[in-house]
Amino acid sequence: MQKIGIRHEDKTKWERRVPLVPDQIRGLIDSHGIPFAVQTSNQRVFSSEEMAASGAEVTDCLADCPIVIGVKEIPSAQFEPEKTYMFFSHTIKGQSYNMPMLARMMELKCNLLDYERIVDEQGQRLVFFGEYAGLAGMIDTLWSYGQRLSAEGYETALANIQPAHKYDSLADAKKHIAEIGAAARNDASLKKFIPVVCGFSGYGRVSQGAQEIYDLLNPTTVAPDELDGSMTSDTFVKVVFKESDMVEPIDASQPFELQDYYQKPEKYRGKFEQYLPNLSMLVNCIYWEPKYPRLVTKEAAAKLYDGSENPKLRVIGDISCDPEGSIEITSRPTDPGNPVYVYDTKRSEAVDGFEGNGPVIMAVEILPTELPRESSTAFGEALVDMIPALARHQLPQEFEDWELPAPLKSAVILHRGELTPDFKYIQKFL
């Protein structure tokens, strides 16, 4: 068995996750005899003592590990020749900011596996943090909403909600939010804003995680076509938007067809603007590429805020976090230390904090790390059964001869420094 190194995370001081937690490492050592080395870290959520108790070697150096795994991107200077690396490389879209990193790995004849491309036969991802992005993102969005109302002079029960990373655990966060939800129903300060309507774009894992938190407030669920300004009886309302709610055929005589939209998005236009006046919060959970219509444009935001004296929409929790993407007024990503800004529609710029002529944008880029123990455990549970095959097989000369399980082999972007067949297209971005 080849020795596997787990590196310390250094992309940001906020990154506290690991790809495998101590109990999972212990299981791999006991059941398969895989040797592990864990690089020392002062910010990892699991202490060096916890890692050492798993049976792993805790060390500053991973030089003797032919396989190195982590979570986020690795600085180019840290790569070693001919080693195998597995992490979220953020290269499969040809992301310009990571092309120098990829080029360096190719120069050193490294092997690269990307978690994002560990998929089943239907192309569905098997290893992901998405649910925890939704969980943490909704907690931070509710916190942002309470803080925005406070900035306007309204001290409501929601102001007591904390950012996700301030809670000791997900369980503590859920308990607290449920208690606040019950108190909010008798909160006189909140009556001015009732119903508090939260819209969710998308219905996948990220959205499901976000809805799990919002459901702690015991909201009433309505369909998009039931959303109007006449709802007054319920404190909290939830509405989930599907593709057919967000876009429509440009040719009004044609019906909406989901697969047609995905294959020919140029035939469709956005129609989400109509819902904005009736939302208190929007939580964005959709996958987006430039070929698709935007959800919220700068023009729509300006129309809402400059055309109304006191718009209902206070916060956009942009969990998807594509700068100037599906939410065009998401100017930049943020981190847990400075998680929000207001997109001022009059000045067309982002202003840190909660005050300004526009909605608060919560755009934390690494939301799952705000729940580091729980998100790491769930991630490792999906990954752990694939590790023995990775450790067992010596690297062959030809990619076709690398005996890996199909989901893991589909994640190989580089083999001995060469782009594998499914990823040759990345060459044009290098």
Q: Where are the domains of the chain?
A: 4-118+372-429, 130-370
Whether 4-118+372-429 and 130-370 share one fold: the answer is: yes
pTM of the entire structure? 0.93
pLDDT the model gives residue 376:
97
Q: How many CA atoms lie within 13 A of 18 on its CB side?
A: 28
pLDDT of residue 310: 86
Mean pLDDT of 124-144: 96
pLDDT at residue 307, rounded to an integer: 74
Q: Is it true that the peptide bond before 195 is cis, omega within 30 degrees of 0?
A: yes
- Examine the pLDDT at 109 and tell me if it is beyond 70: yes
| Architecture category of domain 130-370 in CATH | 3-Layer(aba) Sandwich (3.40)
Total Cβ atoms within 10 A of residue 179: 13
Question: What are 248-261's pLDDT values in tens digits?
Answer: 999 999 999 999 99
Interatomic CA distance for residues 342 and 335, integer angstroms: 15
**Span 285-303, average pLDDT:** 95
Would you tell me how many other CB atoms lie within 10 Å of the CB of residue 121? Answer: 8
The whole-number pLDDT of residue 393 equals: 77
**321-346 residue pLDDT tens:** 999 999 999 999 999 999 999 999 99
The answer to whether the beta carbons of residues 229 and 310 sit under 8 Å apart is no
Phi, psi of 361 (to 5 degrees): -110, 115
Q: How confident is the model at residue 232 (pLDDT cuts 50, 70, 90)?
A: low
Please report the pLDDT score of residue 312 as a whole number: 95
Interval 305-325 mean pLDDT: 91
Q: Tell me: the pLDDT tens digits for 149-166?
A: 999 999 999 999 999 999
pLDDT at 230: 64
Q: Which positions ≥6 away from 134 have C-beta within 8 Å? A: 205, 206, 207, 208, 209, 210, 211, 212, 213, 285, 319
What pLDDT, on the 0 to 100 scale, is given for residue 234?
86
Q: Does domain 4-118+372-429 have CATH number 3.30.565.10?
A: no
Q: How confident is the model at residue 167 (pLDDT cuts 50, 70, 90)?
A: very high
Non-local CB neighbours of 240 within 8 Å, separated by 6+ positions: 199, 200, 203, 207, 211, 221
Arithmetic mean of pLDDT, 12-16: 95
Per-chain mean pLDDT for the chain: 95
For β-strands 111-113 and 360-362, DSSP reports them as unpaired
Confidence at 229, pLDDT banded by 50, 70, 90: low
What is the rounded distance in angstroms from the CA atom of residue 411 to the CA atom of residue 141? 33
